[in-house]
Amino acid sequence: MISRIYEHYNGRALKREYNFEGDLSFNEDYSKQFYRKSRNEKIDCFRIYSDNETKTHAIANSYFVGVDWIIEKKKAIYIQPKLDDYSDNETDYLQMLFSALKHEEVSKHTVELFEIKWDKPTIAITQQEDLLTPLLIV
């Protein structure tokens, strides 16, 4: 029910083939967009391209880390922080965030930094995949 992928799965904004294990139709594309109010623009968090002819999917994802529904109550995606290029360590996004928030000027630009969809069904994940609890506790 949940597909796991790294942030910037392909290291660029290009799409790359990804197997969603038959849970998605090949007849339509899927996407999650974020509306950036400050620039009045929509940005893809992720976009899944479907190819009915080859029966494949490809994904392009941006600076999105977290969990969301691809198809509500049916198929979810978990995009985890990217790995450090030189080791198997994930990028410590919380340390980066808290370090940046110490500066008043930076904190003015974080209003749209994360979103919690209280009105949507929950998505079951493991404790290691829980990226949100540290933000709720702070």
Q: What is the band of 11 on the pLDDT scale with cuts at 50, 70, 90?
A: very low
Q: Answer whether residue 109 shows pLDDT above 60.
A: yes
CA neighbours closer than 13 Å in the CB half-sphere of residue 90: 17
pLDDT digits (tens, 9 = 90+) for 43-93: 888 889 999 999 999 888 877 778 889 999 989 888 877 665 566 676 777
* Structural domain boundaries in the chain: 2-137
Check residue 65 and give its pLDDT.
Answer: 79
What does 103-120 look like in DSSP terms, one character per residue? SHHHHTT-TTS----TTS
- H or E element: which one contains 44? strand 41-51
pLDDT confidence tier of residue 13, bands split at 50, 70 and 90: low
Per-residue pLDDT at 10:
44
82/130 Cα distance (integer angstroms): 15
User: Where do runs of H (alpha helix) occur along the chain?
Assistant: 93-101, 104-107, 133-137
List, edge to edge, every strand of the sheet that includes 2-6: 2-6, 75-80, 66-71
